[in-house]
Structure 1
Amino acid sequence: MSNADDQPRLIEPVRLSQAVAGGTELEHFEPWPAGMQQRRVGRHALKVWFEGEHLTAMVYQAEEGQLRFESLPYDEHVYVLSGGAVLETDAGERHDYGPGDVFVVPKGWSGTWEFLKDYRELVVFETSSVNAAMNAWFGWE
């Protein structure tokens, strides 16, 4: 007879709930660091719905505003759920995104990221890189 502790851990797919995707179960947190805000981002919220050894997936939502990133510390895969985003590189190249658009912002990218019209996104990151950035920006451990 085997003990339940001897059983292998069951690993199953993790589904994104409609409530999280729709923005109703997100958690508000402190503002972006002042030095990153080109135009104040009001309230913003997120929900980490999966954190694994290598990948972290979350839904992030922000009121209108604009951030400046210097050498983004991670690769970021983005699926826009609502609103819009305008990313402009330091070279002046403008990229506009809206609901249904999917894009990747590579590690090392520098430029501005503008949030438009109740922006909400599904994002996926490499776990250790995003955790280090969130710790540096917000003091999360």
Structure 2
Amino acid sequence: MNKTALVTLITAFSLTLCGPILADPSDNKEPSVVYPQVMSKSEIAGDIFKRDDMILETSETGRKTYDVVSLLSQDKKFVSGMYRAEAGRFEITEPYGVDEYMHFLQGGVTLTSSDGSVQVIKAGDSVTIPKEWTGVWDTDGYTKIYVIYSPDAPIE
């Protein structure tokens, strides 16, 4: 068998084996497109909590929280969205667990770090809580935009 015939045979054999994994030109599917996620002015004003994908949770004490995720990365280690919570007080004795940036639109929180230092965050303020933080989170209620990064584990 000459070299040309051998190359032709190998090419035909390869196409026979690999053909099914190659793109089918008759397949009219559009390639996946990734879009920026936008929160409009009206959504930021509160309309976002009217969306079908809004998550409402009610604690055993009756405290309600509302959460809308605007983006969850493919590796599930980055998430952003909007969150509304009713009044509550929480002692965080184990490290917070994620790095979270928050911009408060309404209400606010008082953060008392484990050393006793106090920071009051009000509407219009932003704060970043590192994953190692411990302390007390106290609020009369708030609405915030958040961005969370969790390098150690996916966000559930």
Question: So what's the TM-score if we normalise by structure 1?
Answer: 0.74
Whose relative contact order is higher, 1 or 2, with alpha carbons under 8 Å and at least 6 apart?
Answer: 1
Does 2:147 match 1:119?
Answer: no
Q: CA RMSD in A?
A: 2.3
Mind listing any 5+ residue stretches in structure 1 that lack a counterpart?
Answer: 35-39, 132-141
Match of 2:98 among 57, 62, 74: 74
Corresponding residue for 1:105? 129
Contiguous gaps of at least 5 residues in structure 2: 1-24
Deviation at 1:107, TM superposition (A): 0.6
2:57 paired residue number? 29
Amino acid at match of 1:124: V
1:41–1:62 contact (8 Å) kept in structure 2: no
What letter is aligned with 2:38?
R
Take 2:104 and 2:64, find their aligned partners in 1: how far apart are those partners? 18
Match of 1:44 in 2: 65
- Length, aligned pairs only: 122
Instruction: Give, as a single letter, the amino acid of the residue that structure 1 aligns with 2:73.
Output: G
SS in 2 for 1:109: coil
Name the structure 1 match of 2:5.
none
Deviations 1:13-35 (A, max 9, x none): 1101445423342432131xx7x
Decide whether aligned partners of structure 1 residues 115 and 2 sit closer, same or farther in structure 2, where only a CA change above 3 A counts: farther
Contact kept in structure 2, 1:41 and 1:66, CA below 8 Å: no
Identity of paired residues, percent? 22
CA apart distance, 1:41: 7.3
Larger Rg: 2
Instruction: Summarize the Cα distance change of 1:98–1:109 in structure 2 as closer, same or farther, 3 Å threshold.
Output: same
Local SS of the residue matching 1:108: coil
Q: Which amino acid aligns with 1:43?
A: K
